[in-house]
Copies of this chain bind each other. A is one copy, B any other.
Amino acid sequence: MSQKEKTTIYDISRALNISAATVSRALNNSNRVSTKTRELVLKTAKAFNYQQNSLAVALKSGRTFNVGVVVPFINRAFFASVIRGIEEELEPKGYHVIICQTHEDASKEARQLQALLNTHIDGVFISVSKSTEDLKHLQAVLQSKIPLIFFDRKKDLKGVSAVSIDDFQGAYDAVTHLVEQGYTKIVHLGSDRKLNIYEDRYRGYIAALKAHGISSRNLFTLQMSSTIESGIEAVNQLYDSQTDFDAIFCASDYIALGCVQELRSRGIQVPQEIGVVGFSNEPFTSHLEHPLSTVGQTPVLMGKIAAQVFLEQINAGKDSDPIEKSVVLKPELFIRSTSLKKGTL
């Protein structure tokens, strides 16, 4: 009744007095089997509660139906949501998602990738760590003919597809929104521009100011880490240096939150005196008493698209030329209360 031992195709073949090969064929819908035997096999397979041993299939075929996802941290809303998107898209196709986190450590990233390669995953999704500069470990994936897909944070690498949001546009839209609200002296608080996403946001900021005829004299930027503390410090710095500003566009929600906190504690009205916009649409931004305006990155969608790109590459065949596809998602501007100079709350 309760079969502890897994039944194999041999069990079925013995019970039916046919060869294991025939059983395999019947199970795999080969047309080289008579309908009669196929039905017989299928029936006894069900009766025996047969489950294909995916390990053996993997060893034989080279496909494991596992994919790896490498992110800096798994318990960050953005990354967790991307993973969710990937999982939801791939799970119905029989894939499993193996997760790895790098803690923003390039050497750990390299080790994780090596380990993944060794377990014969069918594909790798990665958002590179901040410290990643050497690209050897990524090239190793390519050499193994394994589809590699960047999401959000990417590097320049030939033959690698990438899914990201238009960070330039996101920044552009955010700054344009601030201008439309009547802010004219807009500061940008960004982060490490070695990462494409922060560079693009910076450029979007510059372009928007230019497009709206704001003199470059009123252009002011700082680079910092994405933390509340940095935001607080930045505001202090702005006042210490007597910078003349009436709005802050931040490349991170955490920086933005720090700004709002420090501005309020200085008795400054947000958004009446100073407007603030963040980036990422972290969950907390909408729960604040004065919800934070921010740029959303549609992370679940990003994961789903990345998964679709992966499936395309798989379907194109292992040995076909690598498809280099670049999908750029539209950011969503969430206009909430910290940037409404004109608006009625």
Which A residues lie at the B interface, using CB under 8 A? 2, 4, 51-56, 58-59, 64, 66, 73-77, 80-81, 83-84, 87-88, 91, 94, 96-101, 112, 115-120, 143-145, 228, 257, 264, 283-284, 287-290, 300
Most chain B CB inside 10 Å of its own CB: which residue of A116, A118, A145, A264: A118
In Å, the complex CA distance between A56 and B118 comes to 11
Most chain B CB inside 10 Å of its own CB: which residue of A59, A64, A300: A59
Q: Is the CB of B120 within 8 A of A55?
A: yes
Question: Which residue from chain B places its CB closest to the CB of A78 in the assembled complex?
Answer: B75
- Check A91/B98 contact, CB under 8 A, given A74-B80, A77-B75: no
Question: Of B75, B80, B98, B283, which one neighbours A284 at CB under 8 angstroms?
Answer: B283
Question: Which residue from chain B places its CB closest to the CB of A80 in the assembled complex?
Answer: B75
Q: Is the CB of A55 within 8 A of B64?
A: yes
In Å, the complex CA distance between A46 and B328 comes to 42
In Å, the complex CA distance between A94 and B100 comes to 12
Question: Of B87, B98, B144, which one neighbours A96 at CB under 8 angstroms?
Answer: B98
**A76 → chain B, closest Cβ, in Å?**
8
Question: Of B75, B100, B287, which one neighbours A288 at CB under 8 angstroms?
Answer: B287
Q: Is the CB of B66 within 8 A of A59?
A: no
- Check A83/B99 contact, CB under 8 A, given A52-B118, A289-B288: yes
Instruction: Offer 17 A-B interface pairs, CB within 8 angstroms, sorted by A.
Output: A51-B117, A53-B59, A55-B55, A66-B119, A74-B83, A74-B84, A76-B80, A77-B283, A83-B99, A91-B112, A94-B115, A96-B100, A96-B116, A97-B99, A283-B284, A287-B287, A288-B289
- Contact partners of A73 in chain B: CB under 8 A: 84
- Contact partners of A55 in chain B: CB under 8 A: 55, 58-59, 64, 119-120
Q: Is the CB of B288 within 8 A of A290?
A: no
- Contact partners of A64 in chain B: CB under 8 A: 55
In Å, the complex CA distance between A58 and B55 comes to 7
- Contact partners of A83 in chain B: CB under 8 A: 74-75, 99
**A151 → chain B, closest Cβ, in Å?**
15
**A23 → chain B, closest Cβ, in Å?**
18
- Check A4/B143 contact, CB under 8 A, given A52-B118, A87-B100, A287-B288: yes
In Å, the complex CA distance between A288 and B120 comes to 45
Q: Is the CB of B120 within 8 A of A54?
A: yes
- Contact partners of A2 in chain B: CB under 8 A: 143
**A268 → chain B, closest Cβ, in Å?**
14
**A56 → chain B, closest Cβ, in Å?**
6
**A301 → chain B, closest Cβ, in Å?**
13
**A138 → chain B, closest Cβ, in Å?**
15
**A114 → chain B, closest Cβ, in Å?**
8
In Å, the complex CA distance between A43 and B300 comes to 46
Question: Of B51, B81, B145, which one neighbours A75 at CB under 8 angstroms?
Answer: B81
In the A-B complex, the 7 residue pairs with the closest CB atoms = A284-B284, A75-B80, A75-B81, A289-B289, A80-B80, A284-B287, A75-B84
Q: Is the CB of A290 within 8 A of B289?
A: yes
Question: Of B87, B96, B145, B287, which one neighbours A115 at CB under 8 angstroms?
Answer: B96
Question: Which residue from chain B places its CB closest to the CB of A2 in the assembled complex?
Answer: B143
In Å, the complex CA distance between A245 and B311 comes to 56
**A275 → chain B, closest Cβ, in Å?**
17
